[in-house]
Amino acid sequence: MITGHLIVNLILILTAAWFLGRVFARFGLPVVLGELLAGIILGPPLLGIISASEPIELLAEFGIFFLMFYAGLEMDPKEAVEHIWPSTAVAIGGFILPFVLGYFICRMFGGTSFQSLFVGMGISITAIAVQSRILHDLQIHNTSIGHIIIGAAIVNDILALISLSILLELAESGTIQISSVAFIVFKVAVFFGFTILIGQFVIPRFIRKLDDREGKAFTFALVCALVMAYLAELAGLHLIIGAFLAGQFVRKEIMNIEIYQKISDRFYGISYGFMAPIFFVSLSFHLHIHWEWSFIFFTITITLIAIVGKIIGCGAGAFIYGQKFWGSAIIGCGMNGRGAVEMVVAAVVIKLSDKLINSQTISEFYGSAAWKTKVIVSHTITEPLLTQDQFSALICMAFITTLIAPLSLKWIVKKACTYDENAQFCSLWDKSKKV
């Protein structure tokens, strides 16, 4: 429901995001940093004028939805397919190394096996929406490196969500059913197979006949995005993957260029001009810092592990597929931002943890008071799957890496261009400095 309070909050969010974004852009820094700073100032970390609420979170979700659709709209699907194997290698390296390092670090800090597994997963995720925005700000989203980063971010999130399903089942039942894992993989495969068929053979038949009377071309594109987001959710994936793939359907090669430009402009305005700033501002609302040395040390450690693990893991995957040192370094830095996905994952884990612990209490009561009662409630865990400190540390890590990613990426691109001015991304980056 739209209320006066919500309108005032939106005015404050958009005004602060616009002003600080302009300030950061004036100094040659990515706009997203200004939007994150706006959230820190307005949100709980500093002034506390605005806090997370259901309407703002809903608009933020739509923000990453539209952002990812526009990212898919701008990227060439043929280029994405051409870079599928380098993207997969980058994703695997950038998932496994941080996962393993995060697991052992959490164990060193006294975490249980389950807690360590979920912390490892939290630091191994890459946020597609964040990376898309950063690459767009630097004007390198349509380079081969940009395609590899976005493709790798998609594969990385698929690996993370499949792993999450497996770990949640393990926590809930105490065992992993091969049939369940196979079914998850089957759903993902069916989703992508269906996507390819629809995108290649069905959508082009409709899209060639589109005109822009009464904005119906925009409506058609929006329906495609919503349908694909829903199908992605059915497959156990995040809706933003479906939105990105839907954007690949509405490509300029198969439709009137004027209509394509109008659709692109409208999605650009609604995402970058309205909803995406709300998403990035609201990310800062989740930043909670406990001023205790044990918490600070743990947060710093997993943040360093998250950064180093991504750079080395992703960089190694890129290097194997022929990228030079600087190209591999750019890809490693480009994969380092986090965002909403790990927050969703952490929230799901916390919710299941509370459910299992409450079930444990009930089952123990029945076991002692009525020993003949058949207990069917799980006894898998005796401690939370994630403690509050671990949850807060993951949120801080996500925020810090999102803050560092555009700065490190800009620095590494600048450094690379001093050694190879003829690189494809250098000319595009020069354009971004003139905007």
Conformation bin of residue 214: beta by default, left when phi > 0, alpha when psi is -120 to 50: left
Mean pLDDT within 164-169 = 76
Biggest CA pair distance of the chain:
78
* pLDDT for the residue 280: 82
64: tokens are 């990453």
234's CB contacts (< 8 A; 6+ apart) are: 187, 191
pLDDT tens-digit map of 241-258 = 788 788 877 766 666 777
* Residue 293 predicted with pLDDT over 80: yes
Listed as own residue / partner, the contacts of 56-60 with beta carbons closer than 8 Å and 24 or more positions apart are 56/6, 56/9, 56/13, 56/278, 56/282, 57/282, 59/10, 59/275, 59/278, 59/279, 60/275, 60/278, 60/279, 60/282, 60/283, 60/340
* pLDDT confidence bin for 376, thresholds 50/70/90: very low
The answer to whether the CB of 98 falls within 8 A of the CB of 309 is yes
Question: Which one, of 212, 214, 34, 20, lies nearest residue 133 by Cα?
Answer: 34
Q: What is the CATH number for 206? A: 1.20.1530.20
* Residue 362 predicted with pLDDT over 70: no
The answer to whether the CB of 153 falls within 8 A of the CB of 127 is yes
User: Distance between CA 290 and CA 257 in Å, rounded?
Assistant: 53
pLDDT tens-digit map of 267-288 = 888 888 898 899 888 877 877 7
* Residue 199 predicted with pLDDT over 50: yes
* Residue 365 predicted with pLDDT over 50: no
Express as a percent the part of the chain with pLDDT over 90.
14
pLDDT tens-digit map of 321-348 = 888 888 888 888 888 877 656 666 676 6
* pLDDT for the residue 374: 41
| Reported pTM | 0.70
End-to-end CA distance of the chain: 38
Q: Could you tell me which residue, 236 or 373, shows the higher pLDDT?
A: 236
> Which residue range forms the structural domain that includes residue 259?
4-369+376-434
Please state, rounded to an integer, the average pLDDT across all residues of the chain: 78
Sign of CA dihedral 237, 240, 244, 249: positive
Q: How many CB atoms lie within 10 A of CB 78?
A: 12
* pLDDT for the residue 377: 43
Domain count, the chain: 1
* pLDDT for the residue 9: 93
pLDDT tens-digit map of 52-109 = 888 998 898 888 888 878 877 776 666 667 778 888 999 999 999 999 999 999 999 9
In this structure, of 32-36, 158-162, 200-204, 356-360, the range with the lowest mean pLDDT score is: 356-360
